């Protein structure tokens, strides 16, 4: 195969949504066998462009060539026919089905109309060995990790014979370990001759993985460069149009009185396992407490317990000296807790509500939004205007549905809302997930500012850099317990690693 042949060529692609031009004359070329990174601010139009290539949207203008042939991709089935596969950020798997069933779904091996599951299992096994994508064909999707779900998605596209693969922010939902594995997988796929487009906000990944980079800003291509000839700083500048720095001066700080205290929290899972096993914490005014730990060691449960979304089986939670153990989310909210949730689609937003409706999700029942049982839309609009301007939430207006916002802009809207609620305790779970670096810089600055105003902040993040950058103290969680603390001013990766693995002697 010729090395520099073109797999996909988009020329002059324009896509308009009511009130916004998402793609504005974009031209883009993917060479065969290369990994091409697509970079750009939140709402720049990356997902839209890829959805066009995968046939989910029709462009208003422009031409698509696949393997040199001009084509109209009028639906995902056409895309699949052309050998294009897409792994969406939010997986599209059938939860109660097995891995094998999900992979063959839509083109099942069958005999006389009956699916041959054994043959399907065989095929999946062979495919998974061929590409070293380890999955268990017989497991149900609901029982496997996010990392394995992603491998299932990849296998699904390979099963359909895709040789052009699109990944939309694949690493956003993965743990550090899983990210390493994914990058390895992508490299070997490219080595096999697959052509890959990857959208990511993490410049490190771009540098480590890609052959070339295209940067989009506000719907237009601002540059395509060879990865060899660029660096993180240059890319960041190209992307946001100014220089960005995520490093700040740090020092020990004065803290105030105890705002939040949790004593000996216990929670049982449905299988009667202790998922919280005696967690005790204190956070003072003007302090950010970071929680480190491998995903699934009780972090989500801790948050659910504090906010009252799930009941504790033991222990005590208090805020400003007031006992709020096992109170409802409404009451903990009124007591001064606000919460940037881990899953923005599940908890953070009502996707089919407008932005105006979403910014009052936790306050709609209070004045001035509620006036004798009637909603005051003018007040909601006013707040939505204020928050979207302040946090640069890009959309075609405050009356558009949250669903039509880009992922990063959805996240910014949630952060804006929860900070605006002026809490005593802010719980931030993965607050910068899916944000571009400009936005990360701004959000981190706002979190620090909130801390300096005397709020207590509980930060849960799987990004160690972020944790060390923001936290004043870091507690490590393992199997539902706090196993130790590390000092963010003296980063000791080895000790941290041992604690995260549950070694309490560290």
Partner 1 sequence: MESPEKQYNKALGKGIKIFTKSSSLVPIVAIILGLITGALVMLAGGYNPLVAYGALFGKLIESPYDIGETIRAITPLIFTGLSVAFAFRTGLFNIGAEGQFVMGMLGATLIGVKLDLPWFIHAPLAMVGGAVLGGIWAGIVGYLKAKRGVNEVISSIMMNWIGLYFANYVIGTWLSEKGQQKSNEVHESASWSIGWLSEMMDHARMHGGTIVALICVFLFYILLWKTKQGYELRAVGLNPDAAHYAGMNVGRTVVKSMFIAGAFAGLGGAFEVLGVFGYQTISSASPGYGFDGIAVSLLGGNTPVGILLAAILFGGLTYGSGGMSFEADVPTEVVRIVIGAIIFFIASHGIVRMVMKPFSFRRNKPTDGSKEASRT
Ligand X SMILES: Nc1ncnc2c1ncn2[C@@H]1O[C@H](COP(=O)(O)OP(=O)(O)OP(=O)(O)O)[C@@H](O)[C@H]1O
Contacts to ligand X by CB under 6 A: 17, 20, 22, 40, 42-48, 394-396, 404-409
Percentage helix, strand, coil for the chain under 3-state DSSP, each rounded to 5: 35, 30, 40
Residues 6+ apart with CB under 8 A from 3: 31, 32, 33
Q: Residue 293: which of ligand X, Mg ion, partner 1, none does it interact with, CB under 5 to 8 A by kind?
A: none
Q: Which is nearer to ligand X, 149 or 395 (CB)?
A: 395
Residue 328 interaction partner, one of ligand X, Mg ion, partner 1, none, beta carbon < 5-8 Å per kind:
partner 1
Distance in Å, CB of 434 to partner 1, minimum? 8
43 binds, among Mg ion, ligand X, partner 1, none (CB under 5 to 8 A by kind): ligand X
Q: Of 424-453, which residues contact partner 1 (CB under 8 A)?
A: 434
Residue 121 near Mg ion by CB under 5 A:
no
C-alpha–C-alpha distance, residues 274 and 266, integer Å: 7
Q: Which stretch binds partner 1 (CB under 8 A): 24-32, 368-376, 455-463, 468-476?
A: 368-376
Judged on CB neighbours under 10 Å (0-12, 13-18, 19+), 107 is exposed
Of 39 and 456, nearer to ligand X (C-beta) is 39
In the complex, minimum distance from the CB of residue 48 to ligand X, in angstroms, rounded to a whole number: 3
Taking the alpha carbons at both ends of the chain, their separation in whole angstroms is 53
CB of 36 to partner 1, least distance (A): 18
Identified binder of partner 1 from the candidate list 10, 33, 57, 439, rule CB under 8 A: 57
Instruction: Using the minimum distance from each CB to Mg ion, give the nearer residue, 167 or 420.
Output: 167
71 binds partner 1 (CB under 8 A): no
Report d(CA 153, CA 174) in Å as an integer: 14
Return d(Cα 421, Cα 410) in angstroms, integer. Answer: 17
Of the candidate spans 25-33, 99-107, 200-208, 404-412, the one that interacts with partner 1 by CB under 8 A turns out to be 404-412
Of these partners, partner 1, ligand X, Mg ion, none, which one is at the site of residue 117 (CB under 5 to 8 Å by kind)? none
**Residue linked to tokens 């070293």:** 132
Cα(255)–Cα(288) distance, rounded to whole angstroms?
10
Nearer to partner 1, 230 or 325 (CB): 325
Out of 9, 11, 27, 60, which residue is the one contacting partner 1 (CB under 8 A)?
A: 60
Give min distance, CB of 83 to ligand X, in A: 23
Strands, E assignment, 361-447: 370-371, 374-375, 425-429
Whole-Å CA distances, 288 to 126, 128, 295, 450, 452 = 49, 43, 20, 10, 10
Select from partner 1, Mg ion, ligand X, none the partner in contact with residue 40, using the beta carbon and a kind-dependent cut-off of 5 to 8 Å: ligand X
Our finding on whether 42 is near Mg ion (CB under 5 A) is: no
**Site for Mg ion, residues 404 to 433, rule: CB under 5 A:** 406-407
406 in Cβ contact with 43 (< 8 Å) = yes
Which does residue 42 bind out of Mg ion, partner 1, ligand X, none, counting CB within 5 to 8 angstroms by kind? ligand X
Q: Is beta strand 314-319 parallel, antiparallel or unpaired with respect to 322-323?
A: antiparallel
Give Rg (Cα) of the chain: 24
Q: Is 120 helix (H, G, I), strand (E, B) or coil?
A: helix
Which of residues 54 and 260 has its CB atom nearest to partner 1 in the complex?
54
Least Cβ distance, residue 367 to partner 1 (angstroms): 11
Query: Residue 353 binds which entry of partner 1, Mg ion, ligand X, none, with Cβ cut-offs from 5 to 8 Å by kind?
Result: partner 1
Residue 44 interacting entry, from partner 1, ligand X, Mg ion, none, C-beta within 5 to 8 Å by type: ligand X
The tokens describing 301, both together, are: 């449960």
For residue 395, the partner it binds in partner 1, ligand X, Mg ion, none, with Cβ less than 5 to 8 A by kind, is: ligand X
Binding region for partner 1 (CB under 8 A) out of 23-31, 86-94, 96-104, 272-280: 86-94
Structure tokens at 58: 């029709």
Strands (E), 324-389: 337-340, 370-371, 374-375
CA pair distance 414, 250, nearest whole angstrom: 27
Q: Could you say which of partner 1, Mg ion, ligand X, none residue 262 binds, taking C-beta under 5 to 8 angstroms by partner kind? A: none
Name which of 18 and 96 has its Cβ closer to ligand X: 18
Instruction: Give least dist CB 410 to ligand X, A.
Output: 8
CA dist 434 and 432 (Å) reads 6
Q: Is position 47 an interface residue for Mg ion (rule: CB under 5 A)?
A: yes
In the list 96, 112, 113, 373, the residue contacting partner 1 (rule: CB under 8 A) is 373
The reply to whether 403 sits near partner 1 by the rule CB under 8 A is yes
How far is it, in rounded angstroms, from Cα 297 to Cα 245? 32
Strand order in the sheet with 84-87: 84-87, 164-168, 195-199, 35-40, 212-217, 220-226
User: In angstroms, what CA-CA distances link 142 with 94, 95, 253, 336, 477?
Assistant: 9, 5, 44, 34, 24
Element (H, E) at 441: helix 437-452
Task: Give residues in contact with partner 1 (CB under 8 A).
Answer: 17-18, 47, 51, 56-58, 60, 88-90, 92, 168-169, 199, 307, 309, 328-331, 333, 339, 341, 346-353, 357, 361-362, 364-365, 370, 373-375, 403-407, 410, 434
């Amino acid at each position: 195969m010729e090395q520099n042949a073109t797999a996909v060529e988009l020329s002059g692609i324009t896509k308009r949504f009511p009130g916004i031009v998402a793609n504005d004359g974009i031209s883009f070329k993917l060479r065969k066998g290369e990994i091409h990174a697509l970079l750009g601010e939140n709402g720049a139009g990356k997902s839209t462009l890829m959805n066009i290539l995968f046939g989910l949207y029709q462009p208003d203008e422009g031409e698509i060539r696949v393997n040199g042939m001009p084509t109209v991709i009028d639906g995902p089935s056409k895309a699949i026919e052309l050998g294009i596969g897409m792994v969406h950020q939010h997986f599209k798997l059938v939860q109660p089905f097995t891995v094998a069933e999900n992979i063959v779904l839509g083109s099942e091996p069958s005999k006389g109309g009956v699916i041959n599951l054994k043959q399907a299992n065989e095929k999946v096994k062979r495919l998974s060995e061929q590409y070293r994508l380890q999955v268990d064909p017989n497991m149900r999707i609901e029982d496997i990790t996010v990392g394995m779900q992603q491998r299932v998605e990849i296998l699904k596209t390979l099963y359909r014979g895709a040789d052009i693969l699109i990944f939309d922010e694949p690493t956003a939902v993965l743990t550090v370990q899983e990210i390493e594995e994914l990058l390895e997988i992508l490299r070997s796929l490219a080595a096999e001759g697959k052509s890959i487009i990857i959208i990511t906000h993490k410049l490190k990944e771009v540098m480590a993985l890609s052959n070339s980079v295209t940067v989009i800003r506000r719907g237009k291509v601002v540059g395509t460069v060879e990865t060899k000839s660029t660096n993180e700083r240059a890319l960041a500048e190209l992307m946001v149009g100014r220089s960005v720095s995520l490093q700040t001066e740090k020092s020990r700080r004065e803290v105030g009185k105890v705002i939040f205290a949790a004593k000996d929290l216990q929670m049982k899972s449905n299988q009667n396992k202790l998922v919280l096993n005696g967690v005790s914490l204190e956070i003072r005014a003007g302090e950010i407490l970071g929680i480190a730990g491998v995903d699934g060691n009780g972090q989500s449960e801790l948050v659910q317990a504090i906010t009252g979304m799930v009941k504790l089986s033991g222990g005590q939670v208090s805020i400003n000296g007031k006992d709020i153990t096992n109170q409802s989310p409404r009451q903990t909210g009124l007591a001064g807790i606000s919460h940037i949730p881990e899953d923005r689609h599940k908890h953070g937003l009502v996707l089919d509500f407008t932005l105006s409706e979403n910014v009052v999700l936790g306050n709609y029942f209070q004045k001035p939004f509620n006036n004798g049982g009637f909603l005051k839309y003018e007040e909601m609009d006013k707040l939505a205007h204020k928050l979207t301007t302040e946090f640069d939430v890009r959309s075609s207006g405050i009356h558009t549905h949250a669903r039509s916002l880009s992922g990063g802009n959805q996240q910014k809207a949630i952060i804006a809302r929860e900070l605006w609620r002026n809490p005593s305790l802010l719980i931030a779970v993965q607050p910068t997930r899916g944000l571009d670096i400009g936005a990360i810089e701004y959000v981190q600055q706002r979190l620090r500012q909130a801390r300096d105003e005397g709020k207590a902040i509980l930060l849960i993040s799987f990004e160690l850099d972020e944790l060390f950058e923001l936290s004043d103290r870091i507690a490590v969680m393992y199997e539902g317990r706090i196993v130790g603390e590390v000092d963010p001013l003296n980063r000791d990766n080895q000790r941290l690693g041992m604690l995260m693995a549950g070694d309490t002697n560290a």
